[in-house]
Amino acid sequence: MRDNDYKNSASSVELSLPVYRIAMALNCHFAPTPKKLSYTRSGSISVVSVTALAGVSGFVRNAFGENVLSRANEAAMLDIEAIEDQDCFIPHVTLSAFIDATARHSGEETLGLLLAPHLSIASKGCWGQYIIQASTLGAAIKRGIATIGFHSAGDSWTLVNHNRIARLGFASPPAKGNKGYSHVACGTAAIMLSLCRAFLPDRWRPRHVGLDIPRPRRVTEFEDTFQCPVVFDAPDVAISFEAKLLDARHKGPPPRRLITPADLARARLECARLDRLSDILTQQVWSQVLTGTLSIESAACSLDISVRTLQRELKREGTDFRTIANTMRAKRAVELLLETDTSVTDISASLGYSDLPHFVRAFRNATGMRPKEFRDINSLAVSS
């Protein structure tokens, strides 16, 4: 079944479909017609892959303790660690809220600098792996520029070659206006440096790093972290280096599995295709479902709008929060029933249902059968 067969991600599953088609329908990626990411009455909402925070929760726990991590998760209204390796998206404001809360509750004014040594392009899921599998640094950067839409909406990479100096730039207008952006900017610079270092000698240092944040009181901390001069109030986050290094070849072993743009398309939505509020909300609800906590209040807060505005805009688009939530829960239930031997009771609890009968009714409404019946029939189909 093709993605565009399901242009409205909040639509209910057709009960007349055969069982195997129900499973495919609930598990396929949503891919609406590409348009500019915006909706008219509530402003624009942009999203980023949750892999942007990969490894950060573990660092926060080890450096500052469980209490600070809990506070950060409360601010983000998501258990980030539970989904950081998933191919799902969160609003930029959710990422910023997590980082800002970590900085505030830990008392670290330069959290981004502490995080920098622990961040890498390789941890950004299939998108990051695709980039660093390029044969040269220049080819890797071109891959990043061409496929940034599989990682985020509203962000951009640029490469300028002038007077034998290459400048790799990264701009994120959606994140820049949020609290905690100074930490995000430092982390972004660290990730870009990790890309360069995947191709360049260990002794290599950039000519300078540019940060689009105000000049801090203690500049030396930044220069010590990045091991080069740092320019503040820059137009974007940037790494400058000799242009001849664009021809440097990858210094690591050959990849065990090659990744193509088609693989990215199968694994992730292209963010530019999220053209309605309901599309973006579906991504946020999916993130909530994966963590087992689901609420319209959290969803509205993560999108920086009120519950009433969210309900009004969804109604305008012909859907509602409950429909989207039930569809995403059913999708996850199908995955767990088909791909694990987890009991129906445990699946119900993991999806945040208050009791088993509630889950059974919701699943039957979505698929036309009870969870156990669904699993048994599909097990027979596979064995035959």
Tell whether the model's pLDDT for residue 39 goes beyond 90.
Answer: no
| 91-123 pLDDT per residue, tens | 999 999 999 999 999 999 999 999 999 999 999
Which residue bears the tokens 């990264």? Answer: 170
pLDDT band at 384; cut points 50, 70, 90 = low
| 115-168 pLDDT per residue, tens | 999 999 999 999 999 999 999 999 999 999 999 999 998 899 999 999 999 999
pLDDT score recorded for residue 352: 86
| Confidence (pTM) | 0.73
For residues 132 and 196, give the distance between their C-alpha atoms in angstroms, rounded to a whole number: 9
How far, in Å, are 42, 126, 276, 304, 316 from residue 252 at the CA level? 46, 17, 41, 42, 52
pLDDT score recorded for residue 13: 33
How far, in Å, are 9, 10, 89, 327, 349 from residue 281 at the CA level? 10, 10, 10, 12, 22
What rounded mean pLDDT belongs to the chain?
Answer: 84
Tell whether the model's pLDDT for residue 23 goes beyond 60.
Answer: no
For residues 13 and 17, give the distance between their C-alpha atoms in angstroms, rounded to a whole number: 8
Kindly list the domain boundaries of the chain, sorted by start residue.
3-31+275-383, 82-263
For residues 25 and 277, give the distance between their C-alpha atoms in angstroms, rounded to a whole number: 21
| 186-238 pLDDT per residue, tens | 999 999 999 999 999 999 999 999 999 999 999 999 999 999 999 999 999 99
Q: Which class is 3-31+275-383 in CATH?
A: mainly alpha
pLDDT score recorded for residue 41: 35
What end-to-end distance do the CA atoms of the chain give, in Å?
Answer: 22
For residues 261 and 270, give the distance between their C-alpha atoms in angstroms, rounded to a whole number: 11
pLDDT score recorded for residue 340: 83
- Select the more confidently predicted residue: 174 or 58: 58
pLDDT band at 21; cut points 50, 70, 90 = very low
Contacts of 224 (CB under 8 A, 6+ apart): none
Most confident range, picked from 167-171, 301-305, 347-351? 167-171
For residues 137 and 195, give the distance between their C-alpha atoms in angstroms, rounded to a whole number: 8
46 token code pair: 């942009």
Q: With contact defined as beta carbons under 8 Å apart, do 131 and 195 qualify?
A: yes
pLDDT band at 383; cut points 50, 70, 90 = low
pLDDT band at 271; cut points 50, 70, 90 = low
